Amino acid sequence: MSRQWLRASGYLAIFLMPGLFLLGCSTGRTWLAFGTVVILFPLARILFGSVPPNAALHWDERVATTLDRLPLIYVPVLIGCVVAGIWQVASELGSNALLTTGVALSLWMTLLFGTCVAHELIHRRSKWQ
């Protein structure tokens, strides 16, 4: 059972992009989220390999329930990180071209990854989700 929790922990990577966006805005390195995707993510397959073709896994009920609720936790985290990040650099937006471009590209990449979670939520039967 603990092995399933370990495997399921990889899904926590969805929080990486909002976290990188907020961290980049907080430290003045607004290119952080965009740069990570462009430079480091392509190396991930080389380092970790691809998912085996027969990797279907039957999750334990508690693990499956946790994974099912993960997108619902992601939405407020994404909104909070984006608002907080933009709030921190708002005074410099528009006046600093490099910072503004970094924010725009990192925000674009962060929201682009958010479409994966949005797609998952579209398939939910519950209307509020």
Residue 103 lies in a domain: yes
- Among 13, 2, 5, smallest CA distance to 48 is for 13
Kindly indicate the confidence band of residue 67, based on its pLDDT and cuts at 50, 70 and 90: confident
3 state DSSP class of 93: coil
Residue 129 in this model has a pLDDT that exceeds 70: no
Question: What is the value of pTM for the model shown?
Answer: 0.84
Residue 34 lies in a domain: yes
117 inside domain: yes
The residues, any chain, with a CB within 8 Å of residue 11's CB and separated by 6 or more, are 67, 70
Residue at 16 is within a domain:
yes
DSSP labels, 4-59:
HHHHHGGGGGGGHHHHHHHHHHHHT-TTHHHHIIIIIHHHHHHHH-PPPTT-----
- Does the pLDDT value for residue 124 go beyond 60? yes
Supply the range of the domain harboring residue 85. 2-122
Kindly state whether residue 75 falls inside one of the protein's structural domains.
yes
Asked if residue 127 is part of any domain, the answer here is no
Query: What is the mean predicted confidence (pLDDT) over 23-36?
Result: 94
* Residue 20 belongs to some domain of the structure: yes
Per the structure, the count of domains in the chain is: 1
Residue 124, SS3 per DSSP: coil
pLDDT class of 60 with cuts at 50, 70, 90? confident
Residue 129 lies in a domain: no
